[in-house]
Structure 1
Amino acid sequence: MAYQVIKMYGDFEPWWFLENWKDDIVAVREFQNYDDALLCYQEEWQDLREQFPKINSKPNLMSAFWRTDDMRWCEECDEDLQQYHSLMMLSNWQELPETLNSLDYNQTNAQGIHPACSINKHNSLS
Structure 2
Amino acid sequence: MNTTWRVITTKSDAEPWWFFEGWEKDIMRDWTFDSREEAVETFLTELKRFSERYPKAKTKKFHSIAFWDPEEVYFCEACDDDLQVYYGLVIFENDQPMEIKDGLIITEITDRMEQ
Deviations 1:30-69 (A, max 9, x none): 1011011000000000110011100001234210111001
Give the distance between the partners of 1:60 and 1:17, measured in 2 at CA.
Answer: 16
1:82-97 to structure 2, matched below 5 A, reads 82-97=84-99
Partner residue in 2 for 1:74: 76
1:90-109 to structure 2, matched below 5 A, reads 90-97=92-99, 99-100=100-101, 102=103, 103-104=106-107, 105-106=109-110
1:43 matched to 2:45: yes
Deviations 1:52-106 (A, max 9, x none): 1000012342101110011111111111110011101011221122x52622225
TM-score by length of 1: 0.79
TM-score by length of 2: 0.86
1:1-126 to structure 2, matched below 5 A, reads 1-97=3-99, 99-100=100-101, 102=103, 103-104=106-107, 105-106=109-110
**8 Å Cα contact 1:59/1:106 also seen in 2:** no
> Normalized per residue, which structure has more helix?
2
**8 Å Cα contact 1:3/1:90 also seen in 2:** yes
Q: Which runs of 5+ in 1 are unaligned?
A: 110-126
How much identity, in percent, do the aligned residues show? 31
Pairwise CA RMSD: 1.7
